[in-house]
Each structure stands twice: as structure tokens, then as C-alpha cells.
Amino acid sequence: MRVGVLGASGFTGVELLRLCASHPEFDVVMAGAETQAGRAVSDLYPSLAACYSSLAFTKASTSDLRGLDVVFLALPHGESQMLVRELVGEVGVLVDLSADFRLRDRGAYSQWYGQAHASPELLGRFVYGLPELFRPDLEGASLIAAAGCYPTAAGLALAPLVRAGVVEPTGIIVDAASGVSGAGRKLAHSSHFNTVDEDFTAYSLLRHRHTPEIEQVIGGEVLFTAHLAPMNRGILATCYARSRPKPAAGVALSTEDVIGVLEEAYCEEPFVVVSEAPPSTKATLGSNCAHLTARVDPRTGWVVSICAIDNLTKGASGQAVQCANIALGIDEISGLPRVGVYP
């Protein structure tokens, strides 16, 4: 299948190229990157040299994308909205990795992103790309909005518990930390080595743009606080929700109960590991897997559910490839590593 990647020189773009290189069905024929046009992919990213020795970044136009089987848009937020208009019906499957088409409510987009959506008529045509929670919607889809990194971690940790009725859907707290690659490749003071090294900080307090997406995924009310951790990759989301009594028996919830809910929800999922051990970001490095655990604190009545992912793989590019696999009807795990890199 002929594949195009726009925004191929960014962190999610290069991760897409890495994953597509080992995909048995995908052949990347176009790597669009305006700022790097004309430069060899292997020159900017020597790690890709063995598989992309002759591929160069190009200043791609929509005409270059027409007729391709799969197009991944790894562009900055806001840049996909007008471009997609020209690609609808012109490519086999289009997967947008930005937040441009994730929110169903156009009013929520304006509120959290500070501007009106340029193509609101297309919002309802995109399906949300988080396979473990919304797989049926992805089958045969041609327009996919891949889930964000924080919403993926928080959604996987919380959605089964909310759906099972074992936690309250309001008053949920999501406390999550991400590696610096989540800020993208563009140089900024906030992601400079001297700023990030030996530091741990919260940002976008009460106004992080992933808040409405997390609420949309879990079907509840969330207070979300994001943190920047001095690591390259990874997200650890620690989520707190008030427990409810067991629906059938009316007795107190236990740790075994909440772990059981997660195990039942994900028992057939190839990219989810549920364990009693606390998850770590290092265990997910370079893999498309999410690692989860949960606890019930009988003293306070809180449920704690924790998820670790690699923000560039399961939180972005791996998720996009997984969604494309499902939409195309090919093996869902194709091209996607299930084992992390260690040490």
C-alpha cells in the first residue's frame, strides 16, 4: 500500500517512518516536510538510513497525495483543517494525528483552542481513533482522528471503570507527566535542555487543551493537570475517582474488583498489559503497549488507576498505524512493536 506522511520531519512524523519501515503492507512513497524539503531523510535522521536511503523530504501538495492508499497528517494543530477539505474522497484512508478533528463539539473546540474551527462540517465525518475503546467505529473508516497522548493514557485507565459503574463519573482527577518529545521538534525555551534537565513542572493549569478530549473519551467530568518530566519519551497518568459500591451486591469495592474490571475490558487486547505491579514509562519505551494497574483505598474511598505509555508510539504514531490497520482490514498488530526497548 502506498503511504504518504505530511509533517514527516517532526517527532511524530519520524516515528511514523520508523513504524512504517517494518510494516509488511506499507510503502512510504512521500515524506512531506516544508522546512526540510530537498533534504535526505537519512541525513536528518540517520536512524532511518537502513530503510530510507533514497527517500527525501518534499514540499508536498495535495495533488501529490491523491490516489495514495494511506495518508498520515502529522502536522501542527490547526494546519489540517483546510487541507483535509481537499483530500476527502481522494485518498484511501486519512489519519490525522493533530487535535483538529477529535472533538465532536465545535463549541468545545473554540473554547479550548481559542479560535473557530475552519471546517466544522467535517467534524462529524471523522471517527475517533482509540481502538481499545472505539474499535467498531474504525472498521472501514476513511477519516480518522487519532487520539491524543494524554487522552489515550487517561482514557485507557478510566473508561472501563466509568462504563462499569464502579467509579463516579464526576470529580475525576487526572495527574499526568509527559516526556519532552510531547512538545514537538520545534525549539522553544520551555523544551530547551537547560530548562528541562533536573526539573519537573506543571503547565497549562486548568486550561490544558486535552481536557475536553479526556472528558469525551471517558464520559465524565475531569480536572486535568499535565506535567513536564525530564525524559525523552513516555507518559505516566495517575487518575483518581470516587468509588461506588458494587452494583449488584452493594458492598465496598476492592482492589481486586477494579483490576478485574480492567482485565475483563482488555483481556483480548494485544497492546494492553494489566498487572498488579505499578507501571513505568521505561517498560513502554518504543512499544505500542499501554501498561495499567489500579488500587482502591478503603480509608479515603478513592480509586487510583495508573497508565504508562510511550507518548510517540501508543500516544501518537503507533496509534495512528493501529487505526489505519483496522480501517484497512489488515492485521491490527502489523508494523507495531509490543516489546519495549531496555535498558
Q: What pLDDT, in 10s, does the model give residues 131-158?
A: 999 999 999 999 999 999 999 999 999 9
Residue closest to 146 by CA, chosen among 296, 340, 342, 320: 320
Same domain, 126 and 169: no
Query: Is residue 249 very low, low, confident or very high in pLDDT (cuts 50, 70, 90)?
Result: low
Model pLDDT, residue 193: 84
Same domain, 103 and 168: no
In a domain, 202, yes or no: yes
Same domain, 35 and 155: no
Same domain, 176 and 228: yes
Is the pLDDT at 60 greater than 90? The verdict is no
CB-CB contact of 7 with 75 (8 Å): yes
Query: Is residue 20 very low, low, confident or very high in pLDDT (cuts 50, 70, 90)?
Result: very high
Which residue reads 510517540 in cell numbers? 312
CATH number at residue 39: 3.40.50.720
Model pLDDT for residues 192-219, shown as the tens digit of each residue:
888 889 999 999 999 999 999 999 999 9
In a domain, 295, yes or no: yes
Mean pLDDT (whole number) for 12-27 = 98
Is the pLDDT at 94 greater than 70? The verdict is yes
In a domain, 341, yes or no: no
Same domain, 216 and 322: no
Model pLDDT, residue 11: 96
In a domain, 336, yes or no: no
Same domain, 133 and 192: no
Same domain, 115 and 217: no
Distance CA 245, CA 243 (A): 7
Residue closest to 95 by CA, chosen among 24, 182, 26: 26
CB-CB contact of 260 with 212 (8 Å): no
Same domain, 200 and 304: yes
Model pLDDT, residue 250: 67
CB-CB contact of 305 with 241 (8 Å): yes
Same domain, 139 and 266: no
Same domain, 238 and 320: no
Mean pLDDT (whole number) for 322-339 = 98
Same domain, 116 and 204: no
In a domain, 339, yes or no: no
CA 86 and chain centroid, separation: 25
Model pLDDT, residue 251: 76
Count of domains observed in the chain? 2
- Annotated active-site residue 149? The verdict is yes
Q: Please give the model's pTM, rounded to 2 decimal places.
A: 0.96
Q: Which of 149, 239, 289, 307 is catalytic?
A: 149
CATH number at residue 200: 3.30.360.10
In a domain, 335, yes or no: no
Same domain, 261 and 302: yes
Model pLDDT, residue 149: 98
Which residue reads 467530568 in cell numbers? 221
Model pLDDT, residue 85: 93
The identity of residue 180, as a single letter, is V
Distance CA 237, CA 187 (A): 25
In a domain, 281, yes or no: yes
In a domain, 340, yes or no: no
Model pLDDT, residue 230: 95
Q: How high does pLDDT run on average in the chain?
A: 95
Domain that holds residue 173: 150-311
Query: Is residue 191 very low, low, confident or very high in pLDDT (cuts 50, 70, 90)?
Result: confident
